[in-house]
Amino acid sequence: MANNDQFGMKEHLASPNVSLGEHVRRRQRELGESLQSRRAIYLDQKFWIILRGVAAGERSAPEEVALLGQLKQAVESGIAFCPISESTFAELLKQEDSATRLATAKLIDELSLGISLIAYDERIELELESFVRSKAETRNPVPIRHLVWSKLSYVLGHIHPTNTGFDDATELALQKAFFDHMWTRPLSEIVRIMGDSMPPDMSFDSLAGRLNAGNAEHAHELKSFQKTYAIELRGVLNLIAPIGADIVSKMVERVARRSVPREGPEWSSLVQQWEVFLFNAFEEDDGKNILRTLHINTCLHAAVRWNKAQQLEANDFHDFHHACAALAYCEVFLTERSLRAMVIAKHVALDVLYGCRVASNVKEGLAALI
């Protein structure tokens, strides 16, 4: 390859012992360590639109101008950063005007420092692994806060070139070099390249309809919020328990150097054991603290079911994922009034549990930054 050094190929060719997974984890750990002195301030779409309007000179309300000024100053001085999640990215793509979409992306580049949370499913798996290790190991693991951050180009997860036609060592070096290249790409560049190629995601409409129908059918079973939460949790863990069982199986395989089958009676029994074990874990603060993404999402779905007059809407799924990202790993969450009311309600008190200040208007947002 003529220009190996152009993308760092020479360095990676010289380190074939470093796997792609380890290379990615090293970058994430380095990023997490570099952020530990900064406050994470999470903005949902409403606030990004407000701030983009201020930056473009389209909005001039004194409090809105002050909010953008304070955020810029906090980022520039090393005090804070404003990460996004895959829900932010999905909602950004729904902005139909390409000019405002690109302007929003440029503002995100500036205030986020190019940083996003890893995807929702990856956070759940990371928390499950952290929970398993907390029960199985005595040594101090890498703090989970150092592992949940990634770069904007990987907000939807990690994708690597495969089947390149090169030998294994060269393909590995190419994959690591490609990862390093994408690691530095700004969101605005990705949005500009994508253009209008991605239509708005409408898949949540049918899901909301199915869940509303199911909620109505079983509404008579809901005698308390705690009962509603338990029902929601059992449904979630039915899907999640196999992931926990797989994590344990991989740990056994590394130690015992033997494969653990992922089917048959033995596997089914292990999955059932993990479903019960995880359900009991949520009765303790330690379980809710480590498995925070699952707890937050379960609370919010349970809150909708418990309020029998409320119907799930398609955008609620994005809102709930915003809440999971913000409450679990950020110090400040600027969001809609209805979502704020849900997360601070006394029967869930998610803001208190995870130490996150939640604001739903610009004035409250300014106060939360102090």
Number of neighbouring beta carbons within 10 Å of residue 53: 18
- Whether 255 and 158 map to the same domain: the answer is no
Q: Per the domain annotation, does 200 fall within a domain? A: no
Beta bridge partners of 81: 40
pLDDT at residue 168 in the model: 85
pLDDT at residue 69 in the model: 97
- Whether 172 and 28 map to the same domain: the answer is yes
pLDDT at residue 114 in the model: 95
Using CA atoms of 93, 98, 103, 104 in order, give the dihedral in degrees to the nearest 10.
-20
- Whether 214 and 170 map to the same domain: the answer is no
Q: Per the domain annotation, does 125 fall within a domain? A: yes
- Whether 241 and 184 map to the same domain: the answer is no
pLDDT at residue 203 in the model: 58
- Whether 190 and 278 map to the same domain: the answer is no
| CA–CA gap between residue 21 and residue 158 (Å, rounded) | 10
pLDDT at residue 1 in the model: 44
pLDDT at residue 242 in the model: 93
State both tokens at 104.
């929003």
Determine the structural domain holding residue 14 and report its residue range: 4-194
pLDDT at residue 214 in the model: 62
In angstroms and rounded to an integer, the radius of gyration of the C-alpha atoms of the chain is: 22
**362 contacts 50 by C-beta, under 8 angstroms:** yes
State the DSSP H helix or E strand holding residue 14, giving kind and residue range, or none if neither: none
**Helix %, strand %, coil % of the chain (to 5):** 65, 5, 30
Reduced to 3 states (helix: H, G, I; strand: E, B; else coil), residue 151 is strand
Q: Per the domain annotation, does 188 fall within a domain? A: yes
Q: Per the domain annotation, does 166 fall within a domain? A: yes
| CA–CA gap between residue 24 and residue 158 (Å, rounded) | 9
| CA–CA gap between residue 338 and residue 248 (Å, rounded) | 39
Which distant-in-sequence residues (6+ apart) come within 8 Å of 156 by Cβ? 86, 89, 119
358 φ, ψ (degrees, to nearest 5): -115, 130
Amino acid at 287: G
Q: Per the domain annotation, does 199 fall within a domain? A: no
Helices of type H across 77-219: 86-93, 98-112, 120-136, 168-183, 187-194, 204-217
Q: How many CA atoms lie within 13 A of 90 on its CB side?
A: 18
Sheet holding 332-334, edge to edge: 80-81, 39-43, 332-334, 357-359
- Whether 189 and 145 map to the same domain: the answer is yes
Q: Is the dihedral of CA 105, 370, 326, 219 positive or negative?
A: negative
- Whether 184 and 217 map to the same domain: the answer is no
pLDDT at residue 317 in the model: 87
85 φ, ψ (degrees, to nearest 5): -130, 180
Q: What crossing angle do the helices spanning 187-194 and 98-112 adopt, rounded to 10°?
A: 160
pLDDT < 50 stretches in the chain: 1-4, 199-200, 202
Helices of type H across 145-291: 168-183, 187-194, 204-217, 225-256, 265-281, 285-290
- Whether 99 and 13 map to the same domain: the answer is yes
- Whether 172 and 215 map to the same domain: the answer is no
- Whether 52 and 180 map to the same domain: the answer is yes
Q: Per the domain annotation, does 241 fall within a domain? A: yes
| CA–CA gap between residue 205 and residue 315 (Å, rounded) | 8
Reduced to 3 states (helix: H, G, I; strand: E, B; else coil), residue 334 is strand
| CA–CA gap between residue 134 and residue 247 (Å, rounded) | 13
State both tokens at 276.
């019960």
| CA–CA gap between residue 98 and residue 78 (Å, rounded) | 31
- Choose one of 146, 171, 194: the last residue of a domain: 194
- Choose one of 162, 194, 226: the last residue of a domain: 194
| CA–CA gap between residue 113 and residue 186 (Å, rounded) | 9
pLDDT at residue 212 in the model: 60
Q: Per the domain annotation, does 286 fall within a domain? A: yes
40 φ, ψ (degrees, to nearest 5): -90, 120
Beta bridge partners of 332: 41, 357
pLDDT per residue as tens digits for the range 26-49: 999 999 999 999 999 999 999 999
Reduced to 3 states (helix: H, G, I; strand: E, B; else coil), residue 149 is strand
- Choose one of 169, 194, 219: the last residue of a domain: 194
- Report the Cα–Cα distance between both ends of the chain, in Å, rounded: 53
Q: Per the domain annotation, does 177 fall within a domain? A: yes
- Whether 183 and 219 map to the same domain: the answer is no
Task: Count how many domains the chain has.
Answer: 2
pLDDT at residue 2 in the model: 44
- Whether 138 and 233 map to the same domain: the answer is no
